[in-house]
Structure 1
Amino acid sequence: MGRLSGKIAVVTGGNSGIGLATAELFAKEGAQVVVTGRRKAELDAAVARIGASAVGVQGDVSSLEDLDRLYAEVKERFGRIDILFANAGVARVAPFEAVDEAFFDELFGVNVKGLLFSVQKALPLFSDGGAIVLNSSVANTSGAPGFGVYGATKAAVRSFARTWTNELKDRNIRVNVVSPGPVETPIFGTLGFSASQLDEFDEHVKSRVPLGRFGRPEEIAEAVLFLASSASSYVAGVDLYVDGGMVAV
C-alpha cells in the first residue's frame, strides 16, 4: 500500500520540474493524479512519463475559464479531490526601476491570482480532511536584488496559507507551504539571464547554500508528499523551507 493509496490528487504546473517530480511520486504512492500545464506537447509527455495513473488537462491557472474546465473534468472523472499541490508559477527577474505593468501583471496573475483561484475553485470538490500544499520560495524572505516582484508574489502565497488554515479548519483541510531554495529546474532558463549571468548566479547560489549545491526536483517532491500525506496529520499553516539550509543558517 502506498502512502497515498486511493487518493485523488491535482498538481498544477505538473508538466515539468517540481510539479512533474511530485506528480510522479504521488502516482508511485498510489494516487490518481490530474496534472495541468499550458503547453500541450510537454503535458502529453509528462502524462506518458507518469503512466496510467495520470490524466492531463491543458490550461493556464491565470484563466478562470481554464480552471473551471479543469475542475469540471476532475468532477466528471473522479467526483472529488483529496490533495491539491498548487505549484504552477512563473519566475522573472528585474531591478526595481525596470519593472513595468506587464511584468507585474504576469507574475501576480499566475503566482497570486492563479494560485488563489486554483484553491478556491477546488474547494467544492474537496474531501473533508484533505490536504492543500502551496508552492512558495525562499524568495518570500530573502530580499534578493531583482527578485522584488517575484518575492512579493511568494510572500502572498505564504500569507494565504495562514489565513486559509483558519478558514478551512472546520473541514479539517490542512494548508501548508513548501518553499524551495535553488532547484535544478527549467524555470532558471526563464529568468532572463545571459549565459555568463547564469554562471555567476550558479556560483553565487552555491556559495549561499550550506549544502553547497542546487536541490533536485525529487527532493522537493518528497517534502510535498510529507505535507500531503497522513504523516503530517498534525502539521498546519507551516512554511517548510527545502533549501539546503539557505534560510535557516
Structure 2
Amino acid sequence: MDLDLSGRCFLVTGASKGLGFATARALVDEGANVVVSSSSEDNTAAAVAALGDNARGLAADLTDPGTPRRLIDYAREQFGRLDGLFVSHGGPPAGVASELDDDTLRRGLEIAAIAPIRIAREVAAELGEGGSIVVLTSTSGAQPLTGLASSNVARPATQGFVKDLANEIGSRGVRINALLPGTFETERALELAAKNPAAREKSINAAALRRVGDPAELGAVAAFLLSPKASYVTGAAWTVDGGRRAGM
C-alpha cells in the first residue's frame, strides 16, 4: 500500500535504536523525510547514516523543555515543512509499587509522561490540516505490568492526554493516537529480560502469536497511523503486542 508519505516531514524522537529507529525506517521507506533525535550525538549520527539521504539528525534530551522548539525549527530548516511526530523515549525504571519512592516516581513521570506530553503539545500547535502525531506508550497504559510500577503510573497519564488533545485539535484536521507495544526485540526489552527472564518468558507465552515482535512490525503500524490513509483515526490507543493483552 502506498501511504502517500512522499515528501512529507516527520520528527522521530528516541530514534537511534529500537522502535523509534524502526518507525523512522518505515517512514523513509515510504518516501518521507525524517528528522531523527536521541540523547546521544554518536547514535543519532549513526541512525542518519543508516537511513540515508531522507534523514537528518539532531541530538537532544527529550526531558529538556527547550527540545521541542529546537526540533521543530530544525525540521523546517532542513526540509521546509513539518507534517507530524512520532514520540519514542526511554522507559521509566523498573520496580514494584511498594518501593516507588518520590524520586523514582518523579523520574518516571518526567521520562514517560511529562516529556512526551510536552513535545506532542508543542508540535500539535504547529501542525496544519493533515498533520498527525503518534505517541509510543506501553501496554501498561491499559493493563498494569508486574514489576513496572513507574510505567503503570505514567503511561495512563500520557494516554489520557492523547485522548484529551485529540478532541481539541481534531477540528483543525490534526490527529493524535497512542501506540501500545508489547515485547519487541529491542535493547530495552533485553535489559528487562536480563533482570527478570521469567517475566519475559511469561509475556511471550501469554501472547497469542507466542513470540517476540520484530521492531519493523511496529514501525509499519506507526507509519500507517501517521499517514493520510488513517485520516479518520484519532484519539485511540492501538495495541501491537501479538495478542498478549487479556482484553481487547
Interval of TM-score (by shorter of Structure 1 and Structure 2): over 0.9
What does residue range 10-159 of structure 1 map to in structure 2 within 5 Å?
10-159=11-160
What residue in structure 2 maps to residue 184 of structure 1? 185
Q: Distance in 1 between matches of 2:59 and 2:172?
A: 29
Cα pair 2:92 2:150 within 8 Å, conserved:
no
SS in 1 for 2:129: strand
Give 2:222's aligned amino acid.
Answer: V
Q: Percent identity?
A: 29
Q: Distance in 2 between matches of 1:158 and 1:113?
A: 12
What residue in structure 2 maps to residue 221 of structure 1? 219
Aligned counterpart for 2:230 among listed residues 213, 229, 232: 232
SS in 2 for 1:129: coil
Q: Distance in 1 between matches of 2:81 and 2:115?
A: 20
Q: Specify whether residues 123 and 235 from structure 1 end up closer, same or farther in structure 2 by C-alpha distance, changes over 3 A only.
A: closer
SS in 1 for 2:11: strand
The alpha carbon displacement at 1:189 in A equals: 4.2
Cα pair 1:129 1:173 within 8 Å, conserved:
yes
The alpha carbon displacement at 1:124 in A equals: 4.2
The alpha carbon displacement at 1:113 in A equals: 1.0
Aligned counterpart for 2:210 among listed residues 209, 212, 234: 212
Cα pair 1:91 1:190 within 8 Å, conserved:
no
Q: Do structure 1's residue 200 and structure 2's residue 198 form an aligned pair?
A: yes
Q: Over the residues paired in the alignment, what is the CA RMSD in angstroms?
A: 1.7
Cα pair 1:80 1:126 within 8 Å, conserved:
no
The alpha carbon displacement at 1:214 in A equals: 1.0
Q: Distance in 2 between matches of 1:42 and 1:117?
A: 23
SS in 2 for 1:93: coil
Give 1:184's aligned amino acid.
Answer: E
Q: Specify whether residues 124 and 238 from structure 1 end up closer, same or farther in structure 2 by C-alpha distance, changes over 3 A only.
A: closer
User: TM-score, normalised to structure 2's length?
Assistant: 0.93
Cα pair 2:179 2:237 within 8 Å, conserved:
yes
Deviation by residue 1:50-82 (Cα, 9 ceiling, x = unmatched)? 111111110111101233222221232234311
Cα pair 1:37 1:58 within 8 Å, conserved:
yes
SS in 1 for 2:83: strand
Deviation by residue 1:113-134 (Cα, 9 ceiling, x = unmatched)? 1111111222343232211111
Number of residue-to-residue matches in the alignment: 246
Deviates more, 1:208-217 or 1:101-110: 101-110
Q: Distance in 1 between matches of 2:143 and 2:226?
A: 26
Moved over 4 A (4+): none
What residue in structure 1 maps to residue 167 of structure 2? 166
Deviation by residue 1:78-114 (Cα, 9 ceiling, x = unmatched)? 3431121112232321012222222212211121111
The alpha carbon displacement at 1:36 in A equals: 0.7
What residue in structure 2 maps to residue 244 of structure 1? 242
- Consecutive unaligned residues in structure 1, runs of 5 or more: none
Cα pair 1:2 1:28 within 8 Å, conserved:
no
SS in 1 for 2:61: coil
SS in 2 for 1:35: strand
Q: Distance in 1 between matches of 2:165 and 2:233?
A: 14
Q: Distance in 2 between matches of 1:175 and 1:123?
A: 8
Cα pair 2:100 2:149 within 8 Å, conserved:
no
- Consecutive unaligned residues in structure 2, runs of 5 or more: none
Q: Distance in 2 between matches of 1:82 and 1:234?
A: 16
The alpha carbon displacement at 1:168 in A equals: 0.1
